[in-house]
Copies of this chain bind each other. A is one copy, B any other.
Amino acid sequence: MNPQHSVGIVTPQVARFDEALSLTCGRELPYFELVYETYGALNERHSNAVLICHALSGHHHAAGYHSAEDKKPGWWDECIGPGKAIDTNRFFVVCLNNLGGCHGSTGPSSINPATGKPWGPDFPPIRTRDWVHSQARLADYLGIACWAAVIGGSLGGMQAMRWSLEYPERIRHCIVIAAALKLSAQNLAFNEVARQAIESDPNFAEGDYQAKNTVPARGLALARMIGHITYLSDDAMANKFGRDLRSGSLSKGEAANAEFQVQSYLRHQGSQFSGSFDANTYILMTRALDYFDLALEYDNDPVVAFSHARCSFLVISFSTDWRFSPERSREIVNALLAADRPVTYAEIEANEGHDAFLMPIPRYLDVFRAYMLRVGDDS
């Protein structure tokens, strides 16, 4: 643990909701639990609360450490902490594990009350809107009538946008980083191959692996590798690995060994992930991503959609992000402008591809911090 500029040691909490939640698919969850963390203190007027929405494989542990021995802080520790862009001296920051997740919130690994066994593949499909509705329950639970800001990168940015339409009176600022109004056919294709990789693993057992006491580790590792390539720019990969051979010399035997550094890196990433993430959750979350389409119920017109929003927006994109490129962010900005919504847009020069939103890129952090000062002014 590195306590400097850190929120320090944090403890996850669990909120249980006993009123049923109606889902977009038509089914309902009779009850559910959400695991979450908070950083900073809620002010007297409850006006300084900020919600962090996580991306595809994220969770509630966004900042700080779980123990003094912890080596790695939360996934967005670069942005959340005392004096950081999301300044915990000023804001009460809430981050949860989304419904359907595998880090403590109700999801496919939880017990299905109807059967007494894990839901597994029978867990209902979740849409971004469902996440937003469940997050509103958490806001009620915490006594937060209106978020100072809802903030997210990638799939998290999509949740933030959905918040601006579902609960226009409950959000003052919406911060959308490296996101898009909907996925492109290429985005859909990568998600499909990732799911196919999981479903092709015989240990997947049509999603019933938990009951069979197996784990589709190879499929999940493959899915992660595919995702990982799309998070990095070609340049970032070149800088990280180039074409360096792992052993420094050409293997004559053409063994199944990784020969280039990038190969062993990918294998390492894949196997780490498959040991810590649930396959049904991965499928559920990629589907939520596939089906996200902000304007679908608004005549397929994002201008019509955003005309329902009441908050101010900050939109940020990164030059080498080819998963959700700056062009996709400009579509968001153009729709917001056409809908007469206040919007600030920053396109950050960064070499890191989509992953840039997690990185300490000075210009990015400066823009982010400057905007958050404005958020403070309203409260």
Contact = CB atoms under 8 A, between A and B. Distances in A.
A326 interface: no
A199 interface: yes
**Among A232, A240, A256, which residue has the most Cβ atoms of chain B within 10 A?**
A256
A247 B197 CA distance: 23
A226 B184 contact: no
A199 B226 CA distance: 15
A225 interface: yes
B266 A184 contact: no
A242 interface: yes
Nearest to A244: B185
Contacts of A226: 193, 226
Nearest to A241: B185
B262 A193 contact: no
Contacts of A237: 184-186, 189
Contacts of A234: 184-186
Contacts of A232: 186
A254 B24 CA distance: 12
B25 A183 contact: no
A200 B225 CA distance: 13
A252 interface: yes
A162 interface: no
Contact of A260 (B188, B196, B229): B188
Contacts of A240: 185
Contacts of A256: 199, 206
A263 interface: yes
Contacts of A125: 252, 254
A166 interface: no
A266 B201 contact: no
Interface string A14-53: 0000000000011000000000000000000000000000
Contact of A196 (B199, B225, B291): B225
A302 to B, nearest CB: 14
A243 B189 contact: no
A222 B188 CA distance: 15
Nearest to A287: B254
A107 interface: no
B200 A219 contact: yes
Interface string A246-273: 0000101010101110110011001000
A103 interface: no
A228 to B, nearest CB: 8
A92 B324 CA distance: 47
Minimum-distance CB pairs A-B, first 10: A185-B237, A125-B254, A200-B218, A186-B234, A192-B263, A185-B241, A193-B225, A185-B262, A189-B229, A185-B238
25 contacts: A25-B252, A124-B254, A182-B243, A184-B237, A185-B234, A185-B240, A185-B242, A185-B262, A186-B229, A186-B232, A186-B234, A186-B237, A186-B238, A188-B243, A192-B225, A192-B263, A193-B225, A193-B226, A196-B222, A196-B266, A197-B200, A199-B256, A200-B219, A226-B226, A243-B293
Interface of A: 25-26, 124-125, 182-186, 188-190, 192-193, 196-197, 199-202, 206, 218-219, 221-222, 225-226, 229, 232, 234, 237-238, 240-243, 250, 252, 254, 256, 258-260, 262-263, 266-267, 270, 287, 290-291, 293, 322
Given A184-B237, A185-B238, 4 more contacts: A25-B252, A189-B262, A193-B225, A193-B229
